[in-house]
Structure 1
Amino acid sequence: MLSIIDFVSVLFLIVAAHAAKPRGGSGFDENNVVTWGNVLKLKQGREVQLTMDRAQGSAFESKHNYGSGFFQTRIKLPLKDTAGVVTAFYLTSKGNSHDELDFEFLGNRGGKPIALQTNVFANGRGNREQKYNLWFDPTADFHTYGILWNQYQIV
């Protein structure tokens, strides 16, 4: 169980991401909104880097609604002691029904393996967590992660 200090220190952060394929213009600002934190826009707004400090992380969300499809991001996790930090890439619904697909990288104490936790929420019900110890170092370079969602499956 998390103490209140641990809970307050849990930060949601996407370290770097390519925005979803845009519906309108090709720039970040035409298709996304920064919900909190600091976002550095690169390559004419086609790539963003989100940062964190001791007080907060960063996040953005799409201005558009999407149905099924393939969603991907490139993430390089922060180095060193990241206990209490959750780096997340997720899809979520709006409205009364809470649906969500999660990729969450759980922070750790230096030198320990980084775990990836996935979860699926459908109609507000989760409890489908799966945790994986990664076989590679996600802090060494950018890696591509994706979610394929269609009428038959979520991969």
Structure 2
Amino acid sequence: MVLIQDELTAQVNHRGTEPAAAKRRLNNQANFAGDTAGSRNRETEKMIATNDRRESQPAAGSFHKDVQIHWGDSRGKIRDRDGKVLSLSLDKSSGSGFQSNQEFLYGKVEVQMKLVPRNMLVFYDDFVYLKSPGTTWDEIDFEFLGNISGHPYTLHTNVYTQGSGDKEQQFHLWLTQPLIFTLIASHGIHKGLFDGIPIREFKNTESMGVPFPKNQPMRLYASLWEAEHWATRGGLEKTDWSKAPFSALYRNYNVEGCVWANGKSSCPGNSPWFTQKVVLECQKKNEMGTE
């Protein structure tokens, strides 16, 4: 019995090959390259100053009102007055993270990300996920793992239903910098996309006896933390802390969907979020916005 149903594009199977469409999307976005400590500061300023020119993209929310930096002391920072850019940093003492203020039953999360540069010898976990509280929680994970200098980013994925995971899969991404991460959760399917290209989907196969996360509201979390004990070659490769602090940037955070409040969802039972149709519509809009 197949418990996980995944959609992996042919382009991903070509190691190190970046699809032409993905190249066009990357060229349409701001260039956030910058690998030294000094250039990281310049790139942060560039990221703040650059306006997103894709008119079809939904208006971005504000990190000031939509999230809270819930750990890491001062290592997590909102970098501009309008709350469009947030940075997380990691040093030898601690990482950092933020969480959404609202909970969602179903919805679409989109954020532009700049990961720690690939030529930094740092083994980290840049974690974006939806999670519900409690001991029988639901969770949808997308984790970017640091790697040996110059090697592709590794994407580690997992799905928990009622506290049970063991649905892990990893992908070596062709992506360089930057990327737009989209996570769509609905009654029929959960799907993760990068620059409009679907990487993994988890379909509702409850008819086959497979639990599906559909009843518990979840918050969005993002964190940057040290994972050298397991992220690369079982901990054989170690982080070069002389290059710390390491930073990841998040821009144009936007969420739309079924907000959970007072014990119920804001969406009626006949909402498109309770069908698979909304996933196809969201994916089509995302692809149109990144062409």
Q: Shared fold by TM > 0.5?
A: yes
The match for 2:99 among 61, 65, 77 is: 61
SS in 2 for 1:144: strand
In the alignment, what sits opposite 2:183? 147
Which 5+ residue runs of structure 1 have no aligned equivalent?
A: 1-15
Moved over 3 A (4+): none
Counterpart residue identity of residue 144, structure 1: I
Q: Is the 8 A contact 2:108 2:183 kept in 1?
A: yes
**Higher normalized helix content (fraction of residues):** 2
Counterpart residue identity of residue 95, structure 2: G
| CA apart distance, 1:134 | 0.8
Q: Is the 8 A contact 2:155 2:172 kept in 1?
A: yes
Query: Would the alpha carbon gap of residues 77 and 145 (structure 1) be closer, same or farther in structure 2, given more than 3 Å must change?
Result: same
Counterpart residue identity of residue 150, structure 2: G
SS in 2 for 1:82: coil
| CA apart distance, 1:123 | 0.3
- Write out per-residue CA displacement over residues 40-80 of structure 1, whole angstroms, 9 at most, x where no aligned residue: 22251132111222222110111211110111222111121
In the alignment, what sits opposite 1:129? 168
SS in 2 for 1:66: strand
Which structure is richer in relative contact order (CA contacts within 8 A, separation 6 or more)?
2
Q: Measure, in 2, the Cα distance between the counterparts of 1:86 and 1:123.
A: 23
| CA apart distance, 1:132 | 0.3
Counterpart residue identity of residue 82, structure 2: Q
Which 5+ residue runs of structure 2 have no aligned equivalent?
A: 1-46, 48-58, 192-291
Correspondence 1:84-123 to 2 at 5 A: 85-123=124-162
Q: Measure, in 1, the Cα distance between the counterparts of 2:62 and 2:181.
A: 21
In the alignment, what sits opposite 2:252? none
Q: Measure, in 2, the Cα distance between the counterparts of 1:50 and 1:127.
A: 28
The match for 1:50 among 88, 92, 99 is: 88
Q: Measure, in 2, the Cα distance between the counterparts of 1:97 and 1:65.
A: 17
SS in 1 for 2:105: coil
Q: Measure, in 2, the Cα distance between the counterparts of 1:108 and 1:30.
A: 34
Counterpart residue identity of residue 49, structure 1: S
The match for 1:82 among 111, 114, 122 is: 122
| CA apart distance, 1:33 | 1.6
**Higher normalized strand content (fraction of residues):** 1
Q: Measure, in 2, the Cα distance between the counterparts of 1:76 and 1:136.
A: 11
| CA apart distance, 1:97 | 2.4
Residue-pair matches, total: 129
Q: Measure, in 2, the Cα distance between the counterparts of 1:58 and 1:102.
A: 17
